[in-house]
């Protein structure tokens, strides 16, 4: 039933077209075109699913609102000028890289790939690296640590990162630890808080 | 002396908008495609760059870091963890996992506030 209806509409619009071309150049997109676009999109995405894994601040939490109220009150306050244009101690990527590489090597010396053990270990390792980076004592820097464990089963993996930050004093560090059964990758991003 | 006025009055990271932006970018680049070794570099690069440009268009005073990992779908194990040291009231993160028949993709967005 639906198909017949659509076919008729298409014929009608085609009949009208030669008349209206002289009058106005752009035609409103017909319902038929809109439906087919949505259908094409659905076809393309038929095999894909997605979900949101983790969000912070939490999407439906009222606790987050309390923080926001405080913050908006704070934004009305004006801070005194610190006259500091750049960080006192700039982030040294090479020293941090050696330290992170050392931590990875020590903690993963004899660890084999194991589902449950590694999920706990990855969180532990992230916290450990965060503590170590904080110990360096870079003032006014914010840190983001990312740990990835990939089991070696002959599949390909591609990891890409892009960022928008101040190139003068924001930087990142990468450390990799490879064993027979898995590869561990640690990424550290250091962002100066202006 | 003139003062700088913010473009928008919202305070705090809006994770909903970020998640929508990322989902649209991933759908646009990887939707309906199969894992292809030749194109994978180009796809990851364009996906990450597109999400970054859209995030910047939101007009908020934030520094962004977008990370993406695309893995071919097979029998493998994969763990990822992240730990952050920042201001929890103004900074935020959003992780979106997308998969189809031949590949898995995880995109992470970190947003760090700039205090003007």
Q: Per DSSP, which regions of B27-77 are E strands? A: 62-72
B70 touches chain A (CB under 8 A): yes
Question: Is B3 inside a domain boundary?
Answer: no
Decide if B84 and A51 are in contact by the 8 Å CB cutoff.
Answer: no
Closest CB to A158: pick one of B16, B40, B81.
B40
Residue A115 with chain B: CB contacts under 8 Å: 77
A7 against A26, higher pLDDT: A26
The whole-number average pLDDT for the span B51-65 is: 88
B99 touches chain A (CB under 8 A): yes
| Structural contact between residues A141 and A87, judged by C-beta atoms closer than 8 angstroms | yes
pLDDT higher than 80, residue B57: yes
Q: Which of B87, B16, B48 is nearest to A55 (CA)?
A: B16
pLDDT at residue B1, rounded to an integer: 47
Topology at the third CATH level for domain A93-153+166-192: Ribosomal protein S3 C-terminal domain (3.30.1140)
Question: How far apart are alpha carbons B53 and A42 in whole angstroms?
Answer: 25
Residue A164 with chain B: CB contacts under 8 Å: 52, 55-56, 63-64
Count the domains in chain B.
1
Nearest-CA distance B108 → chain A (Å): 9
Residue in A closest to B89 by C-alpha: A67
A117-139 residue pLDDT tens: 888 888 888 888 989 998 888 88
Whole-complex ipTM: 0.71
The whole-number average pLDDT for the span A19-45 is: 64
pLDDT at residue A12, rounded to an integer: 44
Question: Is B79 inside a domain boundary?
Answer: yes
Percent of chain B residues past pLDDT 70, beyond the cut:
90
pLDDT higher than 60, residue B23: yes
* Domain of residue B71, CATH code: 3.30.1140.40
pLDDT at residue A102, rounded to an integer: 92
A103-122 residue pLDDT tens: 999 988 888 888 788 888 88
- What pairs with residue A61 in β-bridges? none
Residue A142 with chain B: CB contacts under 8 Å: 84-87, 91, 112
**pTM for this structure?**
0.69
pLDDT higher than 50, residue A172: yes
- What domain range is B30 assigned to? 15-113
Question: Is B94 inside a domain boundary?
Answer: yes
Question: How far apart are alpha carbons A132 and A100 in whole angstroms?
Answer: 8
The whole-number average pLDDT for the span A73-101 is: 78
Decide if A48 and B94 are in contact by the 8 Å CB cutoff.
Answer: no
B25 touches chain A (CB under 8 A): no
The whole-number average pLDDT for the span A149-174 is: 87
């Amino acid at each position: 039933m639906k198909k017949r209806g659509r076919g008729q509409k298409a014929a009608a619009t085609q009949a009208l077209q030669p008349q209206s071309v002289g009058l106005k150049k752009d035609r409103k997109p017909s319902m038929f075109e809109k439906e087919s676009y949505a259908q094409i999109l659905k076809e393309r995405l038929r095999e894909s699913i997605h979900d949101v894994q983790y969000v912070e601040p939490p999407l439906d939490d009222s606790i987050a609102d309390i923080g926001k109220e405080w913050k908006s009150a704070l934004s009305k306050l004006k801070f005194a000028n610190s006259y500091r244009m750049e960080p006192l101690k700039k982030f040294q990527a090479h020293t941090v890289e050696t330290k992170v590489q050392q931590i990875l090597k020590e903690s993963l010396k004899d660890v084999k790939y194991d589902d449950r053990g590694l999920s706990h270990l990855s969180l532990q390792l992230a916290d450990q690296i965060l503590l170590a980076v904080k110990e360096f004592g870079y003032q006014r820097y914010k840190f983001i640590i990312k740990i990835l464990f990939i089991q070696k089963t002959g599949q390909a993996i591609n990891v890409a990162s892009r960022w928008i930050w101040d190139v003068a004093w924001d930087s990142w560090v990468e450390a990799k630890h490879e064993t027979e059964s898995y590869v561990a990758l640690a990424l550290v991003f250091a962002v100066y808080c202006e | 002396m003139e003062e700088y006025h913010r473009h928008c009055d919202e305070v705090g990271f809006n994770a909903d908008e970020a998640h929508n932006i990322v989902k649209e970018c991933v759908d646009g680049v990887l939707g309906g495609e199969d894992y292809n070794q030749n194109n994978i570099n180009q796809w990851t690069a364009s996906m990450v760059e597109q999400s970054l440009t859209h995030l910047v268009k939101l007009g908020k005073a934030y520094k962004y870091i977008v990370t993406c990992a695309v893995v071919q779908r097979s029998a493998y194990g994969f763990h990822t963890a992240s730990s952050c040291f920042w201001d929890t009231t103004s900074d935020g993160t959003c992780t979106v996992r997308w998969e189809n028949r031949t590949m898995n993709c995880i995109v992470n967005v970190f947003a760090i506030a700039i205090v003007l």
